[in-house]
Chain A
Amino acid sequence: MQKLELHNVIKRFGNNTVCNGINLNVEQGQMVCLIGASGAGKSTLLRCINLLEPIEDGEIFLDGKDISLPGLNPQSVRSKIGMVFQSFNLFPHMTAFENAILAPKRTSGISKSQLNFEIEMLFERFDLAERMHNYPDQLSGGQQQRVAIVRALAMKPEVMLFDEITSALDPQLVGEVLDVLLQLKNQGMTMVLATHEMQFARQAADKICFLKDGKIVEEGSATEIFNRPKKAATKAFLTRALK
């Protein structure tokens, strides 16, 4: 059974079809990268998987269970699927630590001392212990994004979604964030990334999907997509992206 499975997912905003019949399988522990031009539907697809956007048609399965069922309470699904955003979206009125502990404190029922300990360990693991009690505006972009990742991990998700998480960062800060992704991959996390970091996708992804106009035009391993793309559209995109 696939960890995450998308069947013919369709998402429209008014007359604008953003996801036009997307099929995608993600295995346990796999890192899948979604590539494609801006507006191809990568971000929207991730938002649909996290039920932030209701889909018009199709199904989304997590561990074989249909999570796109209309009327389903999205909260339990979202606590299993973590998401990190392009613009960090940290809560500016809370310290990094408070950002991370908020959701588990409200939903998990774990004792406060145990929770404190767990979150501290998490900050330590990602080398942020020193910055734990700083407010977001006291942190660099790279640190903020790493805190956002820690915040998502604090809910102990089974799948993580990353929406162009390095796009808003200065080039010299991109590395530290990508290192966190590699660290997670090594620990066996199931991940779906929308990304413009072609070199990273090429080195780290187990599977790459090229999206265009709301459809997955081509998918395959990094070698297949980057070295032997079959579709003209994929070739054209990569030529431009790798320039």
Chain B
Amino acid sequence: MTRREHYEQQQRRKSLIIAAISTIFVVVAVIIFVPMTPGWEKVQKSFFNATVLAKTFPKLLDAFKVNIMIFAWSAPAIAVLGLMIALARDAKAPALFPLRIFGAAFTDIFRGVPVILTVYLIGFGIPGLGLPRPWNSPFIWGSLALILTYSAYVAEIFRAGIDSVHPSQRSAALSLGLSERQVMRDVILPQAVRNVVPSQMNMLIALQKDVSLLSFIGPVEIFRQAGVYKSLFANFTPYVGAAIIFLIVTIPATRYADYLMARQMRERR
């Protein structure tokens, strides 16, 4: 073992011991102090009730299928609309000027209004027009609200991606005799999309959670279903169950997004 390896091994051992001690200290403190709080017994009963959890968990999983369904049709629509708006905002031809204005207004409005407000306004407002079934379904208009809001964010990320491609790529492509359109489609966009995959993964995770906001205008998805059971059992455990189900999906997804991000940082270096 070289001097340096020996030193590094020592350092590693030292930091491992310190980390272990501080972790044990915190955990012990939590285990000792939290049960000492006056309301702990009640909280334990109403939030962490094993019988209630066992009874409601399968039903909650069922309701989660509604979340997945809404997510499944919203996400592709968001990708397409977001990309179209990003391209509209970069349109250079004078005839497309209205499109540019529209793109800017769209992102300003839907990034500026809280998601829940958009869900309310569109989800209650449009069916209020007295449309016939199925066009008064809160599924449709609630999803539309999500699609509009998320497209605005996704469009901005795509735009950042397009800007991240070095201008020399454009010069090289133009010098070959390609048209502006071909340069965008064949050279700029493929690189731009690749650059923003990790950021867009984070948007997907956020969307997955925000699907629950639709519960406020009708659809019985997991959050709403948990609310129903809360009232039925007079117990908050179903909410904890719902949180667990979300985490089962979002934790692997966030880890994957982090992995993609880390890999990209390595590649840039």
Given contacts A87-B168, A106-B182, A106-B186, contact A93 B194 (CB under 8 A): yes
Q: A91, B187: Cβ atoms under 8 Å?
A: yes
**Among the listed B176, B179, B191, which residue makes an inter-chain contact with A151, where contact means beta carbons less than 8 Å apart?**
B176
Chain B residues with a Cβ closer than 8 Å to the other chain, count: 17
Bound form: Cα–Cα A215–B258 in Å = 53
Q: Mark A47-61, 1 if CB is under 8 A from B, else 0.
A: 100101000000000
Smallest Cβ distance from B79 to chain A, in angstroms?
19
Nearest CB in chain B to that of A46: its residue: B175
Known: A87-B168, A89-B169, A106-B186. A78 touches B175 (CB 8 A): yes
Q: A85 near B: Cβ within 8 Å?
A: yes
How many A-B contacts at CB < 8 Å in the complex? 59
Query: How many angstroms from the CA of A74 to the CA of B148 in the assembled complex?
Result: 38
Given contacts A87-B168, A91-B187, A102-B186, contact A52 B178 (CB under 8 A): no
Give B182's nearest chain A residue, CB to CB: A106
A75 touches B (CB below 8 Å)? yes
Q: Would you call A78 and B171 a contact (CB within 8 A)?
A: no
CB distance from B192 to the nearest CB of A (A): 10
Interface residue from B171, B177, B191 paired with A103 (Cβ < 8 Å): B177
B157-196 contacts to A, CB under 8 A, are 168-169, 171-179, 182, 186-187, 190-191, 194
Interface size class of A (residues with CB under 8 A): 20 to 34
A85 touches B171 (CB 8 A): yes
Chain A residues positioned under 8 Å from B176 (CB to CB): 78-79, 82, 102-103, 151-152, 155
Contact status A106-B171, CB under 8 Å: no
B169 near A75: Cβ-Cβ < 8 Å: no
Q: Which residues of A contact B171 (CB under 8 A)?
A: 47, 52, 85, 89
Which of A76, A90, A93 has a CB less than 8 Å from the CB of B177?
A76
Give CA–CA (A62, B52) in the complex, Å.
Answer: 83
Per-residue A-contact encoding for B135-170, CB less than 8 Å = 1, 0 else: 000000000000000000000000000000000110
- Contacts A52-B171, A91-B169, A106-B186: A75 and B194 contacting too (C-beta < 8 A)? no
The 8 closest A-B pairs by CB, nearest first: A79-B177, A89-B172, A103-B176, A83-B175, A78-B177, A89-B168, A93-B190, A106-B182
- Supply 9 A–B pairs (Cβ within 8 Å), ascending by A: A47-B171, A78-B176, A78-B177, A83-B172, A83-B175, A85-B171, A91-B173, A92-B191, A102-B176
Seen from chain A, the residues whose Cβ lies within 8 Å of a Cβ on chain B are 47, 50, 52, 74-76, 78-79, 81-83, 85, 87, 89-93, 102-103, 106-107, 148, 151-152, 155
Q: Which residues of B contact A (CB under 8 A)?
A: 168-169, 171-179, 182, 186-187, 190-191, 194
